[in-house]
């Protein structure tokens, strides 16, 4: 085992590991219909999914946390989302094969997400996924872009952060990864919200397909 060897991979959830946008968009548009508003186009909703209920209610209703009506709409949105949380949500194409290859290589893996724990664990249960480590957005006091969740996950894996890759589709993922001294991989297949170009995030690698993650691991873990 070299000093550089990768021994585990941690994933962001929404927009990186699992394509949850169809079900979150469905919940938002159901909420808009309840409020006598026309549905939004999926293409306008998808980029905000990584920003959770906050981002979706911003584009759906022009409301931000702290504004009148936000909390009630957020609660109703989450209720609608939970009803069909795994109706269309699936692993992104190519990731099932990558996870199988992890098992063959004896590489550990897990999930670190800002998604609330009750939603994270319900979604994984309905998709029959049991990663060794799951750290949700309300498991610790601070969430990404703070590094706390990633450092905690490394402790759960009993590995130094230097032996772990974190994979995400938002700049906050890369910021948290670098602050935790993990190698950071940004994915182009995610929900890139357009705030800053992915090339400006300072990731160690930018990948277009899940198969490229294995190639990156190979470059970091020479034999």
Name the residues annotated as catalytic.
12, 14
The two structure tokens encoding residue 223: 């034999």
Sheet of 164-168, strand order: 133-135, 108-112, 8-11, 164-168, 183-187, 205-207
Residue among 140, 110, 49, 101 at smallest CA distance from 221: 101
**Largest separation between any pair of C-alpha atoms in the chain:** 61
Cα distances (Å, whole numbers) of residue 2 to 51, 155, 209 = 37, 20, 26
Cα distances (Å, whole numbers) of residue 27 to 6, 71, 170 = 38, 16, 22
Question: Using omega within 30 degrees of 0 as the cis cutoff, is the peptide bond preceding 192 cis?
Answer: no
How many Cβ atoms from other residues are within 10 Å of residue 23's Cβ?
Answer: 23
Residue among 215, 212, 216 at smallest CA distance from 92: 212
Q: Which residue has the tokens 């498991």?
A: 139
- Write the DSSP symbol of residue 5: -
């Amino acid at each position: 085992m070299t000093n550089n060897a990768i021994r585990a991979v941690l994933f962001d959830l929404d927009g990186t590991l699992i394509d949850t946008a169809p079900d979150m968009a469905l919940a938002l548009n159901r909420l808009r219909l309840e409020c006598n508003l026309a549905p939004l186009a999926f293409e306008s909703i998808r980029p905000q999914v990584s920003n959770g209920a906050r981002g979706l209610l911003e584009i759906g209703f022009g409301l931000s946390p702290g504004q009148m009506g936000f909390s009630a709409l957020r609660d109703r949105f989450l209720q609608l989302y939970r009803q069909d949380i795994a109706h269309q949500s699936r692993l992104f194409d190519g990731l099932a094969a990558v996870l199988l290859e992890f098992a063959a290589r004896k590489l550990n893996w897990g999930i670190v997400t800002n998604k609330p724990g009750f939603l994270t664990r319900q979604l994984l249960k309905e998709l029959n996924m049991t990663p060794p480590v799951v750290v949700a957005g309300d498991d610790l006091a601070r969430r990404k872009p703070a590094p706390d969740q990633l450092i905690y996950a490394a402790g759960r894996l009993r590995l130094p952060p230097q032996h772990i890759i974190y994979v995400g589709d938002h700049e906050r993922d890369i910021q948290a990864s670098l602050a935790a001294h993990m190698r950071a991989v940004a994915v182009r297949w995610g929900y890139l919200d357009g705030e800053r170009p992915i090339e400006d995030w300072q990731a160690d690698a930018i990948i277009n397909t899940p198969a490229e993650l294995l190639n990156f691991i190979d470059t970091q873990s020479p034999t």
